[in-house]
Amino acid sequence: KEMLTPKFSVSQDSSHVIVDIWLTGLCRLDKAEASVQDDTLLFSCEPYFLRLQLTGSCVDSDDATAGSSGLTASEFNVDAGGVLTLRIRKLVIGEQFPDLDMLNKLMAPAGASASSCSETVQSERRLLVEELLSGEEPPSECLAAAGADLDWFVEPHLDGEAGDCRLATSAGAISGGGLGFAFRRRDEQSASMLRGLDHLLPDLASMSHLERLAAKEALEDAQFDADYYLADQLNPSDMLTDILSRPGCLPSLLDSEERRARLMGLPRRPLLPPEAGWEMRVCLMALADLVFAFCLDWRVCEGEQTPESARTILTQAACLSCQCPLTSVPQLLRSCYRRLLAYSLLRNWQLCQLVAMDTAGVLSNKLLTLDCLIRLERLLSSVEGYAGVNYLTVTDTCRWVQHCPSDLLNSLSEAIRNAANCFKKEEVGFGLIEWENEATSCGQDSAD
């Protein structure tokens, strides 16, 4: 008999993990069953079933030596909509369990060890099917191991099998580099989801990743308007001056109910984590690319998303509009700055710097990073024609970031902050210094 996943929330105090489960009037509480083994909670009450992998160890529900049961059903609140509250005693009193807001992570099946994780990744990678066949999601420890040795400032070459994400071919595979999350998808159906969007690279499915990067920069060079840039840089409008006057412009956290509803609506299909090395790099850079685009729109629109917000973000984020993998923080900043100065409504160097700092601020808070992705995923899914690019990249990024260790995000945040503080206009490649000097010289000649 098919079982349903109930609506639930998880919180904690110093001694217990508290799980609230919403049950309908069709449930018979006398038939409800619950058990705890170490970090796993199993709950069943037809037609509902819930399995949670907690982020710390608890007292087993059948542990006779514990003095009292590790699991108690403390109350059933009819007035609150039929909420059953389970209290699970922690094995170590005072321990703080991380990531209890990451509902998809809690609902993931028990993972394999880091070594078996690597073997599974290699086996699955050879199959190249649209729906990944792995039955389990490895724990965050696998991701931590994959990102432990990353150097944010070293840019590996995009050549060879790993750099171009060239997986084993199958019927209907595209000829170019991979698409979507971790740039893994090379099937024709995924490529068809990107066709018809005005702001994407033409024929990107037939391009290698190196070709996409070159085509992206060629289009940015052609799009850059020196007069437009100089007007915003040397004579900013009152609106731009106001935007630049805000030192920090971070989004707010979502309401917990809104976050929970969206996370419960994400796909449940298995998500293979990024492999150590190239895949982990491009996933983290794509995450930062998405957050930069979101922060740009948030700062300019003061948190009020407009009908143009989806177009702004799609155009700004190279991982969406160009399906172009980035592999280092300097390359990330170069791409983000170039696209802002070539395509944005407001084209100002200080704006680039401020949005980079906003991005670092968001990435330093894992929950805020997730909330930004949820807002972005909801925005793109509501715009006609954007569902494909949203499904291929943003939805899976929402799922993956819940498993990403906070230390890894904090390290990326610090690297972006440090790089932005010393990033120079010459590194963008538009000749900004020369244009500014020429404009200043012409202004002085006119004054004379």
Query: Where do the domains of the chain lie, and which CATH numbers do they carry?
Result: 8-97 (2.60.40.790), 140-439 (no CATH)
Please give the pLDDT value at position 247. Answer: 80
> If you search the block for the tokens 């990249």, which residue do you land on?
393
Please give the pLDDT value at position 120. Answer: 35
Where does residue 226 fall: left (phi above 0), alpha (psi -120 to 50 degrees), or beta otherwise? alpha
CA–CA separation, 394 and 263 (whole Å): 13
298-329 pLDDT per residue, tens: 999 988 888 789 999 999 999 999 999 999 99
| Residue 78 neighbours by CB under 8 Å, 6+ apart | none
Which DSSP string do the residues of 240-304 spell out, in sequence order?
A: HHHHHT-S--PPPPPPHHHHHHHHHTS--S--PPPPTTHHHHHHHHHHHHHHHHHHHHHHHTTT-
Higher pLDDT, 156 or 301: 301
pLDDT at 128 over 80: no
For the segment 69-98, the average pLDDT, to the nearest whole number, is 81
Q: Share the mean pLDDT of the chain.
A: 83
Please give the pLDDT value at position 15. Answer: 93
Higher pLDDT, 269 or 406: 406
pLDDT at 141 over 60: no
188-231 pLDDT per residue, tens: 888 888 887 777 888 888 999 999 999 999 999 999 999 999 99
pLDDT at 399 over 60: yes
Please give the pLDDT value at position 398. Answer: 95
Cβ distance 388 to 194 under 8 Å? yes
Please tell me the least confidently modeled range out of 69-78, 161-170, 361-370.
161-170
Please tell me the least confidently modeled range out of 99-108, 272-281, 283-292.
272-281
354-388 pLDDT per residue, tens: 999 999 999 999 999 999 999 999 999 988 889 89
**Model confidence, pTM:** 0.84
Residue 28 confidence class, pLDDT cut points 50, 70, 90: confident
Highest mean pLDDT among 87-91, 273-277, 330-334: 330-334
Please give the pLDDT value at position 163. Answer: 42
